[in-house]
Chains A and B, each alone.
Chain A
Amino acid sequence: MRITSSGLVLNFLRDLQQGLTRLSRLQQQLTSAKRIQKPSDDPANLPSVLAMHDALRAAEQYGRNAQDTATLLASAQQALMNATQVLQRIRDLAVQASNDTLSASDRQAIRAEVSTLLDELVSLGNAQVAGRYLFSGTLTNSPPFTRSGDVVTYGGNSGTLLREVDRGTVLSASVPGDVPFGPAFAATANLLSALDANASGAVRAALGNLDVALDALLRVQADLGARASRVELLGQRWSEFEVRLRELLSVREDADMGQVIMELQLQENVYRAALAAGARLLQPSLVDFLR
């Protein structure tokens, strides 16, 4: 094929352009440390890369939700543990009071102590976390229990605080107060009126109610304990998941710096060689040699 000077120039310029294009791309990867900088860099993988980014964000959120749930459950458990101790003390007093040998004034003394313990129970039932009442159901801005005389009324509702701790998994982070505390208040009120009536038989009946109430408290605590374990497990899983996901994303998205640098050096040499060769070939022509 006949070669003209324009032909040489065309070849030279084209090769230079190709070299520069390769260099430019490598330089971009080097400065951004990313293999994928725009959709066209890897369109086939893009949906999964975007989905993974979202999954990572979601995992962070689910982790926070789990943490919040764990805190609420722990606070509730603590309150119920204390309440159990208080109720246990009330029960002991009831046992004392069921003794037929006690006098009315003895029973009155016991009554006073039980009444104070009832106040403590009410205050435990009205426990708060960060300004919100734990045992009000979803009426978290108003205290669940109010005492009037010996009767404690529940002003909350049966709702629970819901949290999504895993995709599609919604847990209750609370328990409505009347479930654990209701029987306790009722039994205590029962005991108080029995003490007032100075009837040891009634006191013994109240004892039965107190046992039932203690049972209720323990059952709720067990339930909360189970939920707390589950949430803790989920929290751990999320941490592991996050780590693995970040690794996966890195493989998809990040540039292999070592490889990029090597490639860059190689292409640089190729480019220089092309420049040198072109410079040698383009300069001389016959005109230089004619007389």
Chain B
Amino acid sequence: MSIFSGIELLRRALEAQQVGMNVAGHNVANVNTPGFSRQEVVHAAVPPPGAASRFAATLLTGGGVQVAAVRRARDAFLERQLQEARQALAEWRAREDFLAQVEAVFPEPSDSGLAQILSAFWNAWQELSLDPTSNGARAALVQQAQAVANTLHQSRKRLEELRGHLDAVATGHVQRINQIASEIASLNTQISRLEVRGQPALDLRDRREALLGELRELADVIEVESEAGELLVFLQGRELVGPAGRTTEIQITPDPSGVHTFTWPDGAPLDVRKGALAAVLRGRDQDVGGLVGQLDALAGALIAQVNAKHATGYGLDGSTGVAFFTGVDAGTIEVNAVIRADPRKIAASSAPGEPGNGAQALTIAQLRGLSEIDGAYQALVAEIGMRAQEASRQVTNQELLADQLRLRREATSGVSIDEEMVNMLRYQHAYDAAARMVRAIDEMIRTLLDIVGG
């Protein structure tokens, strides 16, 4: 062992402490970076050269310190749990969001809701039965009936608009999924290139994890890391990100019905079960789509029931067989233009030529409370309310869960400024001490040189 190896030892020490400082600085710089995992330097002592030999004659001392590794403080299982909690949260949030919008289409209980408007409609028939000859009562009935029709139009229109909005959101999600997939593929390439050289690409891996987390919020993907360090991502058995930078793009095609369909390139339909995209698609097709159907059925029943009774009655001008409503569903229902033009044709009477006869109007008024009309509407709104309430509850629960997991992740992988400040002091002191020792050895060398030189 020579005196120069002492300097070599101290040079390694300076380097190692400097790495420590750099890592501390890196951590501090990234204290607010989402998804960042705190990095740690692992110092290891360098054993004396040839320490394996038991037969070395001279006393050998250690060779100083080296940086054994710089690693991320993270718990992979915890990360996975957190991502899945975020996925569930994103799914329920998406659901809560559109259900709140659906609720807004049916403002009940209130005076502007369909329930009260239908109430007033049935009352208008009662008023007509009190004085079938009154033009005022007839005009009021036409107005109230048109109010029913208009409310049905509006509700249906807003549901259709909501469906379009959900479709746009879903399309956005699919585009983002495709985008993330290609970003992950490009990161895969970068990471494997760096790591082939023996350097762990910690920050790129953090970035890739964050992208995977975002992807998982959108859809239920499964990932596998290959030996080359590539992250392969699958969605319901289909490959999204493959080896060697290969990606599969989900196709977005507009459908004649006004929404989009999402398929894999071979034409198979996209299958997602969890996450925000699944929630939005379910909302678009089942919830909102189903509601439009229910509303149409309700309107259809109203039209059919009222018209059936109206047709057998007689108007003031003797006309019979006249339809009160035209149209077939919530979008097309209208008060018959014939009646709007001449309310005397409203069939209040059960027999021709009897102006004081309001029996038919009474029969129609007695449709109040029918399970296919009033009952169906009450059930529809209650169902919406229950779904919205459940979604809210689930969001609260999932938020709680996600928050707890996030806290635990912070505990494991988060940066504590105080801690990094202390680390900084440690490495700084060690660096100072090593530098001081370099000076000491430098003086020793000079002493030697003075002896030899002149």
Contact = CB atoms under 8 A, between A and B. Distances in A.
Contacts of B131: 130, 132
A236 B290 CA distance: 45
B385 interface: yes
A57 B356 contact: no
A38 B103 contact: yes
Contact of B385 (A3, A42, A64): A42
A156 to B, nearest CB: 9
Given A6-B415, A287-B421, A164 B406 contact: no
Contacts of A141: 133, 355-356
Contact of A14 (B120, B382, B403): B403
A163 B130 contact: yes
B115 A4 contact: no
A201 interface: no
Interface stretch (A47-55, A107-115, A227-235, A268-276): A47-55
B378 A51 contact: yes
A10 to B, nearest CB: 6
Contact of B408 (A1, A54, A60): A1
Interface size class of B (residues with CB under 8 A): 35 or more
Nearest to A57: B119
A58 B368 contact: yes
A130 B116 CA distance: 30
Contacts of B354: 137-139, 157, 159
B414 to A, nearest CB: 4
B411 A162 contact: no
A170 B359 CA distance: 10
Contacts of B103: 38-40
Interface in B206-223: none
B107 A38 contact: yes
Given A1-B408, A53-B109, A140 B356 contact: yes
Interface of B is mostly: helix
Contact of A6 (B129, B133, B410): B410
Contact of A162 (B358, B385, B414): B358
Contact of B129 (A4, A41, A49, A163): A163
B355 A138 contact: yes
Contacts of A159: 351, 354, 356-357
Contacts of A285: 417-418, 421
A42 to B, nearest CB: 7
Interface size class of A (residues with CB under 8 A): 35 or more
A161 B422 CA distance: 97
A130 B350 CA distance: 22
B232 interface: no
A3 B418 CA distance: 11
Interface in B19-34: 31-32
A142 to B, nearest CB: 8
B414 A54 contact: no
Contacts of B356: 132, 136-141, 159, 161
Contacts of A57: 116, 119-120, 123
Interface in B347-399: 349, 351, 353-359, 362, 365-366, 368-369, 374, 377-379, 381-386, 388-389, 392, 399
B292 to A, nearest CB: 17
B307 interface: no
Given A40-B388, A164-B365, A6 B119 contact: no
B389 A164 contact: no
A162 B362 CA distance: 8
B407 A40 contact: no
A50 B381 contact: yes
Interface string A1-33: 111111100110010000000000000000000
A17 B379 CA distance: 33
A4 B382 contact: no
Interface string A62-80: 0011001000000000000
Contacts of A164: 126, 129, 362, 365-366
Nearest to A4: B414
B109 A138 contact: no
B378 A1 contact: no
B130 A46 contact: no
Contacts of B414: 2, 4, 6-7
B106 interface: yes
B154 interface: no
Contacts of B385: 38-43, 46
A139 B355 contact: yes
B408 to A, nearest CB: 7
Contacts of A68: 130
Given A10-B407, A41-B385, A286-B421, A49 B109 contact: yes
A238 to B, nearest CB: 13
A43 B382 contact: yes
Nearest to B354: A138
Contacts of B358: 161-162
B108 interface: yes
A132 B130 CA distance: 11
6 contacts: A4-B411, A50-B377, A50-B378, A61-B126, A138-B349, A162-B358
Interface of A: 1-7, 10-11, 14, 36, 38-44, 46-47, 49-51, 53-54, 57-58, 60-61, 64-65, 68, 130, 132, 136-141, 157, 159, 161-164, 168, 170, 253, 285-287, 290
Given A5-B417, A43-B385, A60-B123, 15 more contacts: A2-B411, A10-B406, A38-B108, A40-B386, A43-B382, A51-B369, A53-B115, A139-B356, A140-B133, A141-B133, A163-B130, A164-B366, A285-B418, A286-B421, A290-B421
Interface of B: 31-32, 99, 103-104, 106-109, 115-116, 118-120, 122-123, 126-127, 129-131, 133, 349, 351, 353-359, 362, 365-366, 368-369, 374, 377-379, 381-386, 388-389, 392, 399, 403, 406-408, 410-412, 414-418, 421-422, 425
Among all A-B residue pairs, the 8 with the closest Cβ atoms: A39-B385, A43-B385, A140-B356, A40-B388, A4-B414, A138-B354, A138-B357, A57-B119
